[in-house]
Chain A
Amino acid sequence: MSAVERVKVTVDGREVEVEKGLGLVEAAAAAGIEIPVFCYEPRLGPPVGACRMCLVEVEGVPKLQAGCTLTAQDGMIVRTAEASAKAAEGQNATLEFILVNHPLDCPVCDKGGECPLQDLTFRYGPGQTRMTFSKRTLDKPIPISPTIALDRERCILCYRCTRFSSDVAEDGQLVARNRGAQSVIATFEDEAYKAPFSGNVIELCPVGALTSTQYRFEGRPWEIQNVPTVCGMCPVGCNVSATTREGKVRRIVSRNHPEVDRGWLCDKGRFAYPHVYAEDRIVDPLERVRRRGFTGLSWDDAVDRAEALLRGAEGRIVTALSGSETVEQAFALGKLLRQGLGAHSAVMPEAVSHGLDAFRAPLSAIGAAEIIVVVGEDEVADRAPIVELWIKLARRHGAEIVRVAEPKLGRKLEERVSASDRAVLIWSGRGGGGGARLAELGHRLGLDSKPGCAAFHLPTTPNGRGVADAWAASADGDEANPEPIGLLIVSGDEAAADPAVRALAEQAETVIAITMYHGLAVGWADLVLPGTSYLERDGSFVNLEGRVQRLRRSVIPPVPDELAWIAKLAERFDVELSPHAALVFEEVSERCFGGIPFGAVGEIAPLPERVAYVAPEPAPIAPIPPAEPEPQEHFLGTLRLQRYRPLFSGPAVERVPELQFQRPAAEIELAYDDAQRRQIASGDEVSVRSNGTSVALRARVSRALAGGTARIADEHAGELHRDVEVVKA
């Protein structure tokens, strides 16, 4: 590797040495000087030089130059508005032009107080208007989706949003319509901007043109607090700030961890926070009473009742975990049940393996990769949305992306992968032993010895790894698989919603459910203990990279959090347990995270070092995957069904009205040729049958889908099995 060439640039008389080719905006920042920008945003790709806010004078160039499009060259002498009257005049002109048709409705604008246009006008703009004609007026606000409102009068046409749509998310849905002064931001035929990452355009907008419908008029910047935490909706663990006002969460914004999320969020992470305020949120413990259904009871009574159920089971206890508990919660629960009651049996939401620790790398390594192999049939965005954006980034930089259904790459592909210094393997599908199989493959291809290479398993739960580790670390002892189950403890909403857990409950004599919602508790639990959301907890999560990240309590939950009552119960079983996450973490950390203190997890968490590869043992506490019936003999007309769990699903999403439009329609996606053969067109009603069950769905014909397959979202697939007949209804 050749050393990076350093060059000297002088900005406003200050000389600074930077890497050659660094953007001038960054070079000036290194000299402590701001070049103001609107359209410039390096995460959106190469600069476009559209807004002309960044005009600077460059010695030897007669015209003012757009600073954002320049790169540092040796000997370059630049003067910004601070040092050049010409540059100041240019920036002032740009702001005057921007404001000519801007409504200046700052008093009623959500952006007011945190608005780059306000700030830059204050610093660089004209003090008064010379516009005496009527300003452009337009219908406003236009809901471009149930989550985003567009005010075209405020729009300064910086094209950040459309560039995000076309060049980052690549959804191609938010575009500029018309030309010149008539240009407006628009969706096709005013249809909803329906894409997994749409909400990022709100944060990208440098004015109040794109605002969140959820946050509209909910708070002014000077009366809110931003709590730094991480998202608990998927295993990526995007770094977010929860904006709170008067003790309520009002919005979620990105906090940009450059190795994890690059400042992007998916719409689930951004818009699903109102699940905290769902109508069917449980705020009191509930007890099943014969004939009368449920009755509320006090926390003291609830703890008594729980103690009684725990004792009554005589150790025949099984715990079903969600993978959305914090590390501390899982450890506390484990310590109570395993140390206090010898109840070692647990049902984990998914398999976990440490095999991939030998391939550990930040997610940003995907963006820098030159070859990426994705194994499995699930859409990456459905499992770990931000990973999809990293893959797209790599593809835009020329990386080869290969999708294979099974971990059989073939000789040629294996050679390309093992020859590369920047190869990444990603497992996005069922099975795989929590990464164990991918680790075996990666090791065989020699990826663990190359720092630019990596392998990632995309789990289905946000903290499955952390929960499994914490549970394992909480006590010594082997699983017993009690028969019959005396008590099933269902920890968390995902477990409560899982049909397999429900099936287990049928065999259990008693059930304790820890859940946030009535809808998930009623009818099968003997005791319901109200749960909390990740937005309400202190603690830590381990993301799919193996990075330990800090959750901060953004708002006080309406119920005691899990640690509080677990600690209380622990007392009764002579188990020493703190109700404070910081103290529990220290105990876990000694066993799992090399003893790092809670405070050291930090706001921008580091990634632990790689460890040497060890051939994985069979995962100790892997669930038995639901058995797929053997495929029937294929005959003409049978399609292989791919069921998928869409990103926009689950208990939280179901409870947010603004996200309902994102949920999958009751439809089956068919390949073009398969549809032709069956004389099915998009929009037709079809009947989908297998193994004696039948589901009525609408057809959507896709030219992208491989022939012989069909896709249906889990929630619409009913009892359908792998081979389905599809006929026009």
Chain B
Amino acid sequence: MTLYAEVQELRSRYPVSRSATLPALRLAQDRYGWLSPEAFREVAEALEETPAYCMAVASFYDMYHLTPVGKHLVEVCTNISCALVGAQQVLEAFQDELGIHAGETSEDGEVTLRAVECAGGCGWGTVVVLNHRYRERVTAADVPAIVEEIRGG
């Protein structure tokens, strides 16, 4: 199914079709890995909006990538509950293992590491979100195994 057709299906779910903007952007991102200018144009045409509108919406939300990201996304929560139980050590362990800083993508384009705001796993910190799946109670000691898992997988 074309992106255009999928977006039309999304639009039909809502009383006002503009409501499909967020899901349509997610669809395009899932397809292309990130929201390139071309992706914006394609989504915009399907939504009958302008590319500028789609860009304005996407840039408001943290989960849309306006620049390319790695195949794997590692997100470490550094908000207070996780921070109180060692999130910084976990983040630093990832930085060491991956050889990149938070906010960067590894040279081979495999992994992007990000610090993120509260992921909603506060009682089970540190929360690491690996390709949108939560890992909880992660400690710095767990990091090498996780990285190996990513690299291996």
Listed in ascending order, the chain A residues whose CB lies under 8 Å from chain B are: 162, 166, 171-179, 186-189, 703
Roughly how many angstroms separate A186 CA and B54 CA in the complex, as a whole number?
12
Roughly how many angstroms separate A663 CA and B80 CA in the complex, as a whole number?
55
Whether the pair B40, A178 counts as a contact (CB closer than 8 A) is no
Listed in ascending order, the chain B residues whose CB lies under 8 Å from chain A are: 37, 40, 45, 48-53, 55-56, 59-61
Whether the pair A178, B45 counts as a contact (CB closer than 8 A) is no
Number of A-B contacts (CB under 8 A): 38
**B50: which A residues are within 8 A, CB to CB?**
171-173, 188
Whether the pair B60, A187 counts as a contact (CB closer than 8 A) is no
**A186: which B residues are within 8 A, CB to CB?**
52, 55-56
Q: Which residue, of B37, B40, B50, B60, has the highest number of chain A Cβ atoms within 10 A?
A: B50
Beta-carbon nearest neighbor of B46 in chain A: A703
Q: Which of A175, A178, A189 contacts B53 (CB 8 A)?
A: A175
Q: Please give the distance in Å from A502's CB to the nearest CB on chain B.
A: 40
Q: Please give the distance in Å from B72's CB to the nearest CB on chain A.
A: 25
In the assembled complex, 25 residue pairs joining A and B whose CB atoms fall closer than 8 Å, in A order, are A166-B53, A171-B50, A172-B49, A172-B52, A173-B50, A173-B52, A174-B52, A176-B56, A177-B55, A177-B56, A177-B59, A178-B59, A178-B60, A179-B60, A179-B61, A186-B56, A187-B52, A188-B37, A188-B50, A188-B51, A188-B55, A189-B37, A189-B51, A189-B55, A703-B48
Task: Return the 4 tightest CB-CB contacts between A and B, nearest first.
Answer: A175-B56, A172-B50, A188-B52, A188-B51
Whether the pair A172, B53 counts as a contact (CB closer than 8 A) is yes
Roughly how many angstroms separate A432 CA and B60 CA in the complex, as a whole number?
49
**A188: which B residues are within 8 A, CB to CB?**
37, 40, 50-52, 55
Q: Please give the distance in Å from A171's CB to the nearest CB on chain B.
A: 7
Beta-carbon nearest neighbor of A704 in chain B: B48
Q: Please give the distance in Å from B41's CB to the nearest CB on chain A.
A: 9
Roughly how many angstroms separate A178 CA and B64 CA in the complex, as a whole number?
11
Roughly how many angstroms separate A6 CA and B52 CA in the complex, as a whole number?
44
Roughly how many angstroms separate A173 CA and B50 CA in the complex, as a whole number?
7
Q: Which of B40, B45, B55 contacts A703 (CB 8 A)?
A: B45
Q: Please give the distance in Å from B31's CB to the nearest CB on chain A.
A: 19
Beta-carbon nearest neighbor of A162 in chain B: B56
**Given A171-B50, A187-B52, 12 more pairs with CB closer than 8 A:** A172-B52, A173-B50, A173-B52, A175-B52, A175-B55, A177-B56, A186-B52, A186-B55, A188-B51, A188-B52, A703-B45, A703-B48
**B59: which A residues are within 8 A, CB to CB?**
177-179
**B48: which A residues are within 8 A, CB to CB?**
703
**A166: which B residues are within 8 A, CB to CB?**
53
**A177: which B residues are within 8 A, CB to CB?**
55-56, 59
**B56: which A residues are within 8 A, CB to CB?**
162, 175-177, 186
Beta-carbon nearest neighbor of A189 in chain B: B37
